Amino acid sequence: MVTRNPYLLLGVDYGCEPDAARRSFARAARRIRRAGTDRISTEDLTWALHEIQNNHADPSNEVDTYRVPADPRVFAPAGEGFFAPAPTPLTRRTETTPSDVDTLTAGLADDVDLLLAEVLPHVVRFDYGYQTPEGTEL
């Protein structure tokens, strides 16, 4: 005889938190009422909830209760759409001031200052200014 599966009875994912199981109770009751089934009773649901709330072992390590689903992602169609719109970024709450831009510009100016200091002495010749008889400047 196969033992009863509290998660299946409540219609929740295997291993769900006791809180989630409790919240699913009404939906499960509605489900069996709508289906008009006599396979499951409200007492079964009560038993199932009690079972989940009082099982203190970690369900992820158990091997005595059948796991449905094996892969929950398969049941949740992923994708944005009418019912799941993409998030909208918050509109900005700041305003750029001239001082902000100055801070940036100063950063660039400082960097270039250092680079020019490095480069300039090497790209010029410091001549004394005398003309040699050959016509070159020393």
**Cross-strand bridge partners of residue 58:** none
CB nearer to another protein: pick between 54 and 121: 121
5/53 with CB nearer another protein: 5
In the three-class reduction of DSSP (H, G, I as helix; E, B as strand; rest coil), residue 11 is classed as: coil
User: Residue 74, CB half-sphere, CA atoms under 13 Å: how many?
Assistant: 5
Would you say 21 or 32 has its CB closer to another protein?
32
Least separation in angstroms between residue 4's CB and another protein is 9
Query: Smallest gap, in angstroms, from Cβ of residue 53 to another protein?
Result: 19
Report the nearest approach of another protein to the CB of residue 25 (Å). Answer: 13
Q: How far is CA 50 from CA 59, 78, 81, 115, 117, in A?
A: 15, 33, 38, 74, 79
